[in-house]
Amino acid sequence: MKLLLFSDLHRDREAARSLFEIVQREAIDVAIGAGDFATCRNGLSDTLEILHRVPCPLVVVAGNAESDEELRAVCGDWDHVHVLHGDSVTLHDRIFFGLGGAVPVTPFGSWSFDLDESTAAAMLAECPRDAVLVTHAPPWELADRASDGRHLGSRAIRECIDRCVPRLAVCGHIHDSWGCVIEHGATTVINAGPQGLVHTL
């Protein structure tokens, strides 16, 4: 199965058009968007109106720049788009489990859609083994390093990966780690970024 992984478009329509072209050129089976389609809760449809035309299933989670409710309001009626937040969908005989929002809580204030670690852990409890895990936030110490060297990822997501051993974990959020690919045991962890990355599963 050929996947296109991306995150953090932040209203960039040119990046969305480029991703659309990759889907067509590479015959992508499933596209995965790991959140932050909007910027500070504004302009959510800017990129989604381009991406909703992809000729394959599109799995998305909310970033901290939009909520899962806002994401569903824009694209919840589109048959091939699957908004995940503490739940899953099966595509091509593979389970995709998703969790949106920033984890842990950010310092950005009321506009940011955040979850604390305990809430995230409870929502990740149903993640099955050997799934594709899609989160906006990266796991702790995996593809989560900021430019100053600090790890900014989620301990709850890291614990989920260690417990459930997903085949692939896709994330975004920490811009300084865009494009980072880490092999963590049997799990490939990828902080996708807006340029997109083709991955074969």
Give the pLDDT of residue 158: 98
CB 71 within 8 A of CB 113: no
Which DSSP string do the residues of 28-49 spell out, in sequence order?
Answer: -SEEEE-S--SBTTB-THHHHH
Give me the CATH number covering residue 184: 3.60.21.10
Number of domains in the chain: 1
| Mean pLDDT over the full length of the chain | 97
Largest separation between any pair of C-alpha atoms in the chain: 42
Q: Angle CA(99)–CA(154)–CA(15) in degrees, nearest 5?
A: 60
pLDDT given for residue 34 in this prediction: 98
Mean pLDDT of 139-144: 98
Mean pLDDT of 179-201: 97
For residue 156, give its domain range.
Answer: 2-200
pLDDT digits (tens, 9 = 90+) for 21-69: 999 999 999 999 999 999 999 999 999 999 999 999 999 999 999 999 9
- Residue 76 pLDDT: 84
pLDDT (tens digit, 9 = 90+) per residue, 77-92? Answer: 899 999 999 999 999 9
pLDDT (0 to 100) of residue 83: 97
Check pLDDT > 90 for residue 139: yes
